[in-house]
């Protein structure tokens, strides 16, 4: 049985398939809110620095000219895979204009998680075939190490400015060009020829290569087309506009454009599409913060009168733990929050609602492979624990492990979806592409069920993950990646990694280890050595904060598959005996 968006929702308008994202976002002829009536798209939440939409449009143009001159690229020559640029950055007000300048040349932007270690960044640079790297001062040392290993020359590393509140008195080292210098150079260069795309080219051409931790091995490059991002931007705006209009009709004081929070990493699909593209397309202002720090977070909400917060559950929990601090800031302009990347429990949502009764607390669900949102809570149809309704243009099925269709409500199975935002596949990974994308449908690996909500509409409830990913503060960790790394340690004979519950992070990795004969008898020393091995080579969210537990044997099936369910059951029983605390 196929499930559809509520009939009360407007249909999805035609999705352009022959234009690049940069034109869709900066040219009013494609339906965006007029540039003159839009708020400034990106404003630094620390320094207040900002640019109008007209200025952003010009900066994109100038930067594209400079990149073409710098690399010898031409908009209508070669393929996008000859023009791959990696962006290893903290959030900045220039990140999205940089992406759009790359797209203006029909190139690929591959954003990298700012928490990456040098080894992880090296993998992405090599796998993507990046020809250049944009980074920032706090990440320069990691960038230099990774670029050297990946064969990206030093003169192809560029710096993007951050506010002085982040960099202090540090100056740009000699020998590095900055994004701002490129823009100034571009002003003096001749205009670029227009992109000449044929019908369907926007649906075939990769715009973003975002890396997603699969269930095994190293992160995989997800090929996201121009049409994928354009589609989801239209889907979200089509879905959200009616409820926003109804609320404004009831209270004319509510402005047409929101001031929204841009705190979540712009390298992550949630922020990349939902916040940065969907929000700025409809004329919202996005207040950009480079990272989460609770005082700067609250100060930005107060200073810029932010009305919409896009968050993840760990930030919400931090807020609930710091209620006395929250009282010191004026949060009265906040009208709604949207949370994603990990499930928000109904109890946590209710606790936040009790603290801020006037806030509309919404939740959504999506994946890098669906670029991004599949379902979301409407402002007028909130049901705590639900991930909301399917958005326009999305179809969904629920299937059993045997592939049988589930027709009933309240019956869990794997969520399978079809949408114009579903991506092209995985780069150079035909096996994973075939396993995930079948006959036009994307198999999410998440267990879900359809339930009828209080207002009679069908809501999607995410029950559990069928895939083995661990989500730490919304960031994905593949157990197999950590297991392969642990097996490199001389004290580890065998191992398995699972995610265990953590109130602040959602989940944290825990390792079960069979010690090698060479390991000493001191479990504490061995445990510390194993943890350090991970901390020396992996990003912080992959550290074994759940600890190391030693076993005589790792439970496995006859075929050798790790039986993580037994390890999770073991962990649950230990927690039960400990009264919920370990």
Pairing label, strands 360-366, 373-376: antiparallel
Record the pTM. Answer: 0.88
Q: Once rounded to an integer, what is the mean pLDDT over residues 380-395?
A: 96
Residues 22 and 100 sit within 8 Å (Cβ to Cβ): yes
Residues 48 and 429 sit within 8 Å (Cβ to Cβ): no
Rounded to 10 degrees, the C-alpha dihedral 304/307/266/387 comes to 170
- Predicted confidence at residue 128, as pLDDT, reads 98
Residues 394 and 419 sit within 8 Å (Cβ to Cβ): yes
Start-to-end C-alpha separation, the chain = 43
Cis peptide bond upstream of 372, omega within 30: yes
Tokens of 67: 């990149």
Residue 37 has pLDDT above 90, yes or no: yes
Residue 353: which pLDDT band, with cuts at 50, 70 and 90? very high
Q: How many helices (H) and strands (E) does the chain have?
A: 19, 27
Residue 397 has pLDDT above 80, yes or no: yes
DSSP strand E in 17-135: where? 42-44, 50-51, 84-88, 108-112, 132-135
Tell me the domains of the chain and their CATH numbers. Answer: 2-14+225-465 (3.40.50.12780), 52-196 (3.40.50.980), 470-578 (3.30.300.30)
- Predicted confidence at residue 557, as pLDDT, reads 63
Pairing label, strands 285-288, 259-262: parallel
* One-character DSSP codes across 190-230: PPPPPP-PPTTHHHHSEEEEEEE--SSSS-EEEEEEHHHHH
SS3 550: strand
* C-alpha 363, offset from chain centre: 15
- Predicted confidence at residue 520, as pLDDT, reads 76
Q: Once rounded to an integer, what is the mean pLDDT over residues 293-297?
A: 96
Question: Kind and range of the H or E element at 514?
Answer: strand 506-515
Residue 521 has pLDDT above 80, yes or no: no
Residue 563: which pLDDT band, with cuts at 50, 70 and 90? confident
Least trusted range by pLDDT, from 64-73, 119-128, 495-504? 495-504
Residue 581: which pLDDT band, with cuts at 50, 70 and 90? low
Name the more confident of 467 and 93.
Answer: 93
- Predicted confidence at residue 257, as pLDDT, reads 93
Cα–Cα distance, 62 to 395 (Å, whole number): 40
Q: Once rounded to an integer, what is the mean pLDDT over residues 213-233?
A: 87
Q: What is the mean pLDDT of the chain?
A: 93
């Amino acid at each position: 049985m196929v499930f559809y968006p509520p009939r009360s929702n407007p249909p999805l308008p035609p999705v352009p398939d022959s234009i690049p994202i940069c034109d869709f976002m900066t040219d009013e002829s494609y339906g965006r809110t007029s540039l003159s009536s839009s708020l400034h798209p990106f404003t630094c939440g620390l320094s207040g620095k900002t640019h109008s939409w007209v200025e952003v449009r010009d900066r994109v143009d100038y930067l594209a000219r400079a990149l073409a001159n710098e690399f010898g690229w031409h908009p209508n020559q070669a393929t996008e895979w000859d023009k791959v640029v990696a962006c290893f950055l903290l959030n900045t007000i220039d990140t999205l204009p940089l992406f759009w300048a790359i797209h203006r040349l029909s190139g690929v932007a591959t954003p990298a998680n700012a928490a990456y270690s040098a080894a992880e960044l090296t993998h992405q640079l090599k796998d993507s075939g990046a020809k250049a790297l944009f980074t920032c001062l706090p990440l320069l040392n990691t960038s230099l190490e990774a670029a050297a290993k990946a064969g990206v020359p030093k003169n192809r590393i560029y710096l993007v400015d951050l506010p002085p509140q982040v960099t202090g008195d540090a100056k740009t080292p000699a020998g590095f060009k900055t994004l701002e210098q490129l823009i100034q150079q571009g002003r003096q260069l001749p205009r670029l020829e227009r992109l000449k795309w044929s019908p369907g080219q926007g649906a075939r051409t990769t715009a973003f290569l975002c890396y997603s931790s699969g269930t095994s091995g190293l992160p995989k490059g997800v090929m996201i087309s121009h049409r994928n991002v354009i589609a989801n931007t239209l889907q979200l705006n089509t879905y959200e506009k009616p409820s926003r209009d109804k609320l404004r009709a009831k209270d004319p004081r509510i402005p047409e454009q929101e001031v929204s929070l841009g705190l979540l990493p712009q390298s992550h699909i949630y922020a990349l599409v939902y916040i940065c593209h969907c929000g700025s397309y409809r004329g919202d202002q996005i207040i950009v913060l480079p990272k989460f720090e609770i005082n700067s977070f609250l100060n930005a909400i107060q200073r810029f009168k932010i009305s919409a917060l896009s968050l993840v559950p760990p930030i919400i929990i931090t807020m609930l733990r710091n209620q006395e601090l929250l009282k010191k800031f004026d949060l009265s302009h906040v009208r709604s929050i949207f949370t994603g990347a990990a499930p928000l429990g109904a109890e946590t949502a209710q606790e936040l609602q009790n603290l801020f009764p006037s806030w509309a607390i919404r939740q959504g669900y999506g994946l890098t492979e669906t670029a991004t949102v599949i379902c979301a809570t409407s402002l007028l149809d909130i049901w705590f624990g639900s991930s909301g309704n399917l958005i326009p243009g999305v179809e969904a099925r629920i299937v059993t492990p045997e592939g049988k269709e589930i027709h009933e409500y309240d019956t869990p199975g794997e969520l399978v979806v079809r949408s114009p935002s579903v991506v092209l596949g995985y780069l150079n990974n035909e096996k994973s592409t075939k396993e995930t994308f079948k006959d036009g449908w994307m198999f999410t690996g998440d267990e879900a069920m359809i339930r009828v909500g209080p207002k009679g509409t069908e809501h999607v409830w995410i029950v559990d993950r069928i895939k083995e990913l661990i989500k730490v503060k919304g960031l994905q960790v593949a157990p197999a990646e950590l297991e392969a790394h642990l097996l490199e340690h001389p004290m580890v004979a065998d191992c398995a990694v699972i995610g265990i519950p953590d109130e602040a992070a959602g989940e944290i990795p825990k390792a079960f280890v069979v010690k090698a004969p060479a390991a000493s008898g001191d479990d504490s020393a061995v445990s510390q050595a194993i943890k350090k091995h991970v901390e020396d080579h992996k990003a912080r969210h992959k550290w074994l904060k759940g600890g190391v537990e030693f076993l005589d044997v790792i439970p496995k099936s006859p075929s050798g598959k790790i039986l993580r369910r037994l390890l999770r059951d073991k962990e649950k029983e230990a927690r039960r005996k400990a009264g919920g605390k370990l």
